[in-house]
Amino acid sequence: SASPPGQGRRSPSPPRTRVRLDVPSIEDADPVRRKERERQLALRLAEQELNEKEKEKNKDKDGNKENDRVVAAYDAAAEFAKLTSSRSGGVYVPPARLRAMQAALASQDKASPEFQRISWDALRKSITGIVNRVNIQNIKHIVPELFSENLIRGRGLFARSVMKAQAASLPYTPVFAALVAIINTKLPQVGELVLHRLVSQFRRSFKRNDKILCHSTTTFIAHLVNQTVAHEILALQILVLLLERPTDDSVEIAVGFMREVGAFLAENSPKANNSVYERFRVVLNEGTISQRVQFMVEVLMQVRK
């Protein structure tokens, strides 16, 4: 049946063209020219919008980089705090990783405890490495390397390193004594600290009856007396203490001490040197020491002649 009038299907309307609201309309009598101008304006606006989006992206990237730097610095500080919470020198850190941690901490604050601790650890490793490499052939090259370090700040580290190295290798005692004597000419406070620590170590080892440590300490002191870092009165006081109440160990240490420093005492304090040998002769005549130590004293007398 035919549909009533007015209810038939509508014809499809023509498609509407989208009008950009952000593009201002251009008034121009020529329609072709107006279209071209609108097109160029739309291109400019689109380019401007793209540039703004790129700027926002770059801002986000910079913000992320800054956050990464902060996180990395925090991680370096936290990691180093964890490493240094243990005993100093007890954790091995690869050099590349250590340099990265130093750079991260240095970018923050050089007065911070973490940076001071890591610089102290680097100074300790450097001084210990230099002292462990010294020998007769390369001592003149080692000394400038040692002076390039901060020996005023690290004088305690130097004293500990040289005492530990000398106790581990007694044949190199003259080399270590010469090294201390060279440092003492420019920095007397360093030589004084080494000598004070050696005297304290000798007192402790003598009270504890630690023969090995006492022998190594007296050997080092003897060579420092030979190098005129210590006065000969110190050597005479040690000999008086060792021979005051003679035992096998004390007389043996005194004999080894005189073998090292006897020539220096004979040249600079001949009267005191003679009194020391007189004391040796009295101990020998008393016969309270063993045959082995008596033979050592007799050999010392022969060496003196």
- pLDDT one-digit tens code per residue, 197-236: 999 999 999 999 999 999 999 999 999 999 999 999 999 9
pTM value > 0.75: no
Is 236:186 a contact under the CB 8 Å cutoff? no
Q: What interhelical angle do 232-244 and 248-268 show, nearest 10?
A: 150
pLDDT tens per residue across span 134-144: 999 999 999 99
Residue 23 dihedral angles phi and psi, to the nearest 5°: -95, 115
Residue 7 dihedral angles phi and psi, to the nearest 5°: -115, 15
Distances in Å between the Cα of 154 and the Cα atoms of 32, 185, 245, 286 are 86, 17, 39, 49
Please measure the distance between the N-terminal and C-terminal CA atoms of the chain and give it in whole angstroms: 153
On average, the pLDDT of the chain sits at 83
- Whether 164 has a pLDDT exceeding 90, the answer reads yes
Distances in Å between the Cα of 298 and the Cα atoms of 127, 144, 211, 274 are 43, 44, 21, 15
